[in-house]
Amino acid sequence: MSSGWETVIGLEIHAQLATRSKIFSGAATAFGAPPNAQACLVDLGYPGVLPVLNREAVRMAVRFGLAIGATVAPRSVFARKNYFYPDLPKGYQISQYELPIVSGGAVGIVLEDGTHKRIGVTRAHLEEDAGKSLHEGLGELTGIDLNRAGTPLLEIVSEPELRSARDAVAYMKKIHTLVRYLGICDGNMQEGSFRCDANVSVRRAGAQQLGTRCEIKNLNSFRFVEKAIHYEVGRQVELIEGGGKVVQETRLYDSDRGVTRSMRSKEEANDYRYFPDPDLLPLVLEPAFVEEVRATLPELPDQKAARFVRDHGLSDYDAGVLTASRELADYYEGVLGVLGGEPKLVANWVMGELAGLLNRDGLEIGGSRVGAAGLAGLLKRISDGTISGKIAKEVLEAMWDEGQAADAIIEARGLRQITDTSALEETITQVMAANPGQLGDYRAGKDKLFGFFVGQVMKATAGKANPAQVNELLRRMLAGP
Amino acid sequence: MKLHELTVAELGRGLREREFTSVELTRHYLARIASGNAALNAFITVTAERALADAAAADQRLARGEGGLLTGVPLAHKDIFCTDGVLTTCGSRMLAKFVAPYDATVVERLAAAGMVLLGKTNMDEFAMGSSNETSWFGPVRNPWDLARVPGGSSGGSAAVVAAGLAPVATGTDTGGSIRQPAALCGLTGLKPTYGRVSRYGMIAFASSLDQGGVLARSALDAALLLAAMAGPDPRDSTCIERPVSDYAAGLDRPIRGLRIGIIREFFGPGLEAGTGAAVQAALDGFRKLGAELVEVSLPNLPLSVPTYYVVAPAECSSNLSRFDGVRFGHRCEEPRDLRDLYERSRGEGFGAEVKRRIMTGTYVLSAGYYDAYYLKAQQVRSLINADFRRAFAEVDVLMGPTSPTPAFALGAKTDDPITMYLNDIYTIGANLAGLPAISVPCGLVGGLPVGLQVIGSHFAEELLLAVAHAWQRETDWHGRRPPEPVRGAP
């Protein structure tokens, strides 16, 4: 992007709430059922049916509101958003418009340069999802699958306070982490459980007024969010610098070509004719209900990270990585609990070797083949000097592949570290005898050869020698009698 | 006494005492329908087979000494109530072939009470009309004079009960659709408090105004039906959590000392003289029964018609969007594309009055017009509510005419929607305020029935029925029947 421009982004995130049944009917919400197998008469919008609000969806929205320090409305109102589309059975979507359940919260993100920033959340409201149109294998016809129709969504609208594609991704990841911590959304982006629309505009640096925005619809991966915004910013700047004007419109991101394309202009936009849904009474939340929900909130990622920094002495960065998901944080704390200390060692192993193995096999922490107690068993052997860190890596891989405990592998493979001073002295004496030239040079002042001798000793002991002990003995014995 | 001249209460007793069986009774009604319906066009569907099966089941229960007050008594449902496995048309071409896959709560509850379904009655299309002339299935004729309308939108239900083709029928009332046809056909018509009867399975016209109720021959019959159909329903969020009274047991409550408010605004120009005189005579009758009459003014009530014709179309424009030719209902032949499917399916499926209201409703909700129309109408609605609240601080019930005129001639008002809309000038207020109201017969003008309307405060059904019952103990207007053969019959 050319310098002299500022980007302004606001995100509308749609988080599918993890309720068992739909927001206004008793039909199941499970993903992947045969088309229309999970659509009851209410979801199909049959004549005479009526919506009944799912209390669990309300509870989840309240959890989110409390977690971001927002106002939970004592009275909110469901409204109808009217438009015709085949996957919208009633001809209107039940949403919240003028009076949403949650308003005015914020979340913290860490910017590229490491500074912290608060991003305002304008509002979050409850609404129902639409169904899906199916085009494959039906020739000229279009099929309609209404399994998703009526699935509860929480639409989370940010203030236009994001200033780069990376900010937007950081914010989206933060919300993603939060909704999973709260247990209100499974966060599965492939299945569409967590997706967003991005409102993007640009303006000259220092300008007060916002530029004309474009809305990019239905971004369902962090990578697409970054790429789509990046492309869109470039397109807008180029357009303006070339003497053109940005037209307010809705655009779609084409992930194959990495570009955004116009979907409909402002003039073509629907007039949704919102009005309060007369089938649903205003949603009134008693303070006691809100407090009851507050009492069940888990420790949130920011609180957890702060505790890791304060009580465990971890860096901000490490604490941030370990709290990115509740499962990862639980794993880390699980290892720490069994080991009984050494948080930095635990953090390094969880974020380093273990993350590497998970990544290699495409697993999440929940699918780790070495459990928290298992890893603690391994780390214990590092701290008590039984094995070196280097050997420990080999042991971890063996644990991962063979499913055995660290001690069993150490014993079976004879990996116990040699800490017997007389045995090491004997080995060093042999190494010195086998390399008289190098010994002479070292003693003549070639200090660099020290490393050569360390390597020879480790080689002779198959890596099992305690490195600190080898260093100490070598320094003394090489210096001469 | 012929079977079809008995009230629901009398039929129930006769059945329990085995004076006749439900099958005999049902056959009697089916025979009357077979001979009488052609002239009236009041049933869209007659469920003869199912009725006889229901009746046989009821007889078995009765023979075992089981069953309640309504077991084995036949009834007809307005064709707006979804009935599992039965054609449910809502008076529209859009649903002319729609067989409902489930029962409305009202249908379910009355079936559970052991009632026998004779069939589904004709109605104005989607309940939009005051004369039953907007039905896709043709107009219903008034049993008192076949050249006249029975009122609407529950015109079929009114006609079948008045003509003795069913002892009682359900109806729905959005702006007077139970009370006005009850008045025009000489029946007792009760619109309960909004939220008293579940709307689940009742095809929506205007959700904040629609309320199911009953068209009966007496206050006692209405009380029996209401007790069976009312009450909380977890499938309707607007249905109120409040236990149901034994309405029949409360009918004998004395009305001496009752404070009756006479609504001044209901006696202005526009009220036909004979109707006004009949209503006035009824009010004098209540005074003689020991009630205290006071004139009250509800200054915002004259705004109810324009308010209603913003709110009701707005809601209907949205409620009727689901009829898009995609999942159920009328679908045009060979649609070229999606837009063509929508336009032709809806264009062909809906009649002129429904289209007029969808367009009006779409307009008043549109960006730039919402505040001036919809929001303003909601504000006026609050003012009308406040007028009623003030009145009920002074009086126990309000009274006035139900309809400005007796039944008018078929075709007399079809060319002028505004004149037609003014038929509901006295009934709409209760819908906007969600109040219960009842129409009871109070006279005949030129051989045509006139209705007295009694409006109560929220959940005052018990009082309304007691007032109506007191009136019916003193008079026999509710016992009058149209002549047989009916005037104008071939």
Of A48, A25, A251, A57, residue with least CA distance to A147: A25
Residue A438's H or E segment, with its range, is helix A436-443
Of A414, A338, A416, residue with least CA distance to A379: A338
CA-nearest residue of chain A to B322? A90
Work out the minimum CA distance from B211 to partner chain A, whole angstroms.
Answer: 12
- Average pLDDT (A378-390) is 87
Tell me whether residues A46 and B367 touch, CB distance under 8 A.
no
Residue B388's H or E segment, with its range, is helix B376-394
CA-nearest residue of chain A to B99? A47
Touching B: A residues 84-103, CB under 8 Å = 84, 86, 89-92
Question: Is A65 touching B (CB cutoff 8 A)?
Answer: no
Tell me whether residues B237 and A275 touch, CB distance under 8 A.
no
Question: For A90, which of B237, B238, B321 is closest by C-beta distance?
Answer: B321
Q: pLDDT confidence of A112, banded at 50, 70, 90?
A: low
Whether B245 sits among the annotated catalytic residues: the reply is: no
Of B426, B375, B342, B349, residue with least CA distance to B151: B426
Work out the minimum CA distance from B240 to partner chain A, whole angstroms.
Answer: 11
Work out the minimum CA distance from A272 to partner chain B, whole angstroms.
Answer: 8
Note the pLDDT of residue B190. Answer: 98
What mean pLDDT, rounded, does chain A reach?
A: 92
User: Kind of pairing, strands A214-219 and A194-204?
Assistant: antiparallel
CA-nearest residue of chain B to A45? B322
For residues B125 and B350, is the Cβ–Cβ distance under 8 A?
yes
Of B184, B192, B113, residue with least CA distance to B154: B184
Tokens of B162: 């008045």
| CA B191 remoteness from chain centre | 7
- Average pLDDT (A343-371) is 93
Question: Is A58 touching B (CB cutoff 8 A)?
Answer: no
Note the pLDDT of residue A139. Answer: 84
pLDDT tens digits, B330-341: 999 999 999 999
Residue A155's SS3 state is strand
CB contacts of B362 in chain A (<8 Å) are 273
Question: For A281, which of B237, B367, B374 is closest by C-beta distance?
Answer: B237
- DSSP code for B485: S
For residues A274 and A285, is the Cβ–Cβ distance under 8 A?
no
- Average pLDDT (A2-26) is 94
CB contacts of B204 in chain A (<8 Å) are 47-48, 279
* Ordered structural domains, chain B, with CATH: 3-259+400-487 (3.90.1300.10), 261-300+381-392 (no CATH), 302-380 (no CATH)
Of B81, B76, B92, B77, residue with least CA distance to B201: B81
How many residues does the structure list for chain A?
481
Positive or negative, the CA dihedral B352, B354, B357, B362 is: negative
Whether B321 sits among the annotated catalytic residues: the reply is: no
Residue A308's SS3 state is helix
For residues B239 and B202, is the Cβ–Cβ distance under 8 A?
no
- Average pLDDT (A450-471) is 87
What single-letter amino acid sits at B154? S
For residues A125 and A196, is the Cβ–Cβ distance under 8 A?
no
CB atoms within 10 A of CB B478: 21
Of B22, B131, B135, B153, the active-site residue reads: B153
Question: Is A81 touching B (CB cutoff 8 A)?
Answer: no
Q: CA triplet B4, B6, B10: central angle to 5 degrees?
A: 140
For residues B51 and B74, is the Cβ–Cβ distance under 8 A?
yes
Residue A215's SS3 state is strand
- DSSP code for A49: -
Residue B35's SS3 state is helix
For residues B32 and B164, is the Cβ–Cβ distance under 8 A?
yes
Alpha-carbon distance of B419 to B355, in angstroms, equals 18
Low-confidence ranges of chain B (pLDDT < 70): 1, 485-490
pLDDT at A316 over 90: no
Work out the minimum CA distance from B233 to partner chain A, whole angstroms.
Answer: 11
Number of cross-chain residue pairs from A and B with Cβ atoms under 8 Å apart: 100
pLDDT tens digits, A255-297: 999 999 998 887 777 899 999 999 999 999 999 999 999 999 9
Of B22, B78, B157, B457, the active-site residue reads: B78
Note the pLDDT of residue A2. Answer: 56
Note the pLDDT of residue A462. Answer: 82
Q: pLDDT confidence of A375, banded at 50, 70, 90?
A: very high
Question: For A41, which of B101, B236, B318 is closest by C-beta distance?
Answer: B101
Tell me whether residues B338 and A86 touch, CB distance under 8 A.
yes
- Average pLDDT (A195-205) is 96
Of A428, A451, A455, residue with least CA distance to A441: A451
Question: Is A282 touching B (CB cutoff 8 A)?
Answer: no
Note the pLDDT of residue B402. Answer: 98
Q: Which residues of A77-96 are buried (b: 16+ CB within 10 A; e: fewer)?
A: bbbbbbeebbbbbbbbbbbb
| CA A448 remoteness from chain centre | 46
Question: Is A266 touching B (CB cutoff 8 A)?
Answer: no
- Helices B376-394 and B304-319 cross at an angle (nearest 10°) of 130
CA-nearest residue of chain A to B81? A48
Whether B153 sits among the annotated catalytic residues: the reply is: yes
Note the pLDDT of residue A478. Answer: 86
Alpha-carbon distance of A28 to A21, in angstroms, equals 4
Best residue in A23, A24, A36, A50 to probe B by mutation, most B CBs within 10 Å? A50
pLDDT tens digits, B214-226: 999 999 999 999 9
Question: For A48, which of B82, B317, B365 is closest by C-beta distance?
Answer: B82
Alpha-carbon distance of B475 to B443, in angstroms, equals 10
Count the alpha carbons within 13 Å of B2 in the hemisphere toward its beta carbon: 9
Question: For A273, which of B81, B199, B365 is closest by C-beta distance?
Answer: B365
For residues B190 and B178, is the Cβ–Cβ distance under 8 A?
yes
Torsions phi, psi for B86 (to 5 deg): -120, 145
Tokens of A5: 């421009």
Which of A210-214, A476-480, B153-157, B450-454 shows the lowest mean pLDDT across its residues? A476-480
Question: For A45, which of B104, B322, B374 is closest by C-beta distance?
Answer: B322
Work out the minimum CA distance from B237 to partner chain A, whole angstroms.
Answer: 6
Note the pLDDT of residue A481. Answer: 63
Residue predicted with more confidence, B412 or A385: B412
Alpha-carbon distance of B333 to B331, in angstroms, equals 7
Work out the minimum CA distance from B150 to partner chain A, whole angstroms.
Answer: 25
CA-nearest residue of chain A to B89? A47
* Bond preceding residue B485 cis, omega within 30 of 0: yes
- DSSP code for A140: T
CB atoms within 10 A of CB A361: 11
